[in-house]
Structure 1
Amino acid sequence: MNLGYDRDEARRLLEEELAEGSYQRQFTGPLRRTLDAFLEWLTGRAFSIGGFDVPYGGLLVLAVVSAAVVILLAVVRPRLHRRAPKDQPVELDPQVTAAEFRARAQQCARAGDINAAAQYAFRAMVRAAEERGVAHQQQGRTATEIADSLGRWYPPAAADLQRAADLFNRSLYGSATLAEADLAFISGLDDQLHRAPGPERLSPPAPPLAAPR
């Protein structure tokens, strides 16, 4: 029986037939059919308020997604904070002197790398305190911990030491680009501590005396 279709026309009719939704679902497998059934079920879910049917399928999906986001933040975010780079110890080569750290800071500053210069200036300040006997070796401590330690010896400079530690952390672990004024602040603090009284004249605050009864 000749239907009068040439080969190209017959191919076109076959492609149009296969493009129908019924055929598409047959070739997508059980996963597609399950998904279609679930979406259809959601579309039909509704509750009545004052005689009006309000679909809650979309609200249910939104609630599930919101709960997943909350759980993700509760579980993952604390772990990210615990592994924050700023909690890493400051690298302080025990073979490098404060003068050498200062020279490296000046070299980086001349090259225009203010962040690296500030980091070397911070290390110079710490190494200088070690050399003067004010602080023990600071290996394995974070910049914040080092600032806390030095602040107990230099109480008037405690706030400035914390600011220097923050600049160090922001320049090395954050995305901040420090300015020359930031470098000058750390270098100036280094000089200020160098001119402060030595450890033989420094001592922790004495406890208050009890008043006689």
Structure 2
Amino acid sequence: MGKKGEKTKCNIREAAKTVFSSKGFKDVTMKDICEATGLSRGGLYLHYGSTQQIFLEIIDDMMRFQGDEFSKKIEQGLPASSILEQVLERYKDEMIDCEGSLGTAIYEYFSSPQSYEKDNILLIQYHKTLSMWKKLLEYGIERKEFNDVDPEAVIDTLVFAYQGVRLYSNLMPIDQKIPEHIISQIKKLLLP
């Protein structure tokens, strides 16, 4: 596929992400995505065969962005504490952004029987997240910027608190203090 085709697919995923954020996964149709993108059904099906295919590529894009972001900054030798601060600040903002959250869509997709027909992609994504964060924490510990903690315990605390708040932000108003408390506690665990 050429650059134009890749650009079109990227635009489809961006528009679809908004649709999935507002409607969840199960209620989104290819017609909804056609309306959001302005593409005809034939134009959309030229690039994607189903809402599931689009959704899984959106999830994959999100994970790739985070992994690349950490790796590039570590390779540049940036301070681990600076990388942590930037990511936690973004997490704090995302936790209360129910408009941009895919939490409901992720829950609907991965709790359905068809998501278990193949490998559990959510579990695979969790392991990617674990690996990505573990590199950052080990990098910070090695540089004496982070306390000598159990990286997996800290990562689980952060990831499941973050995802829990993201999911709940679709169901009830989330006070700004909740993400601030979570981020503050993570910093206390890690920063000397």
Question: Do they fold alike, i.e. is TM over 0.5?
Answer: no
Give the number of the structure with larger relative contact order, counting CA–CA contacts within 8 Å between residues 6 or more apart: 2
Greater fraction of residues in helix:
2
* TM-score (ref. length: structure 2): 0.31
TM-score (normalizing by structure 1): 0.29
Task: Tell me which structure has the larger Cα radius of gyration.
Answer: 1
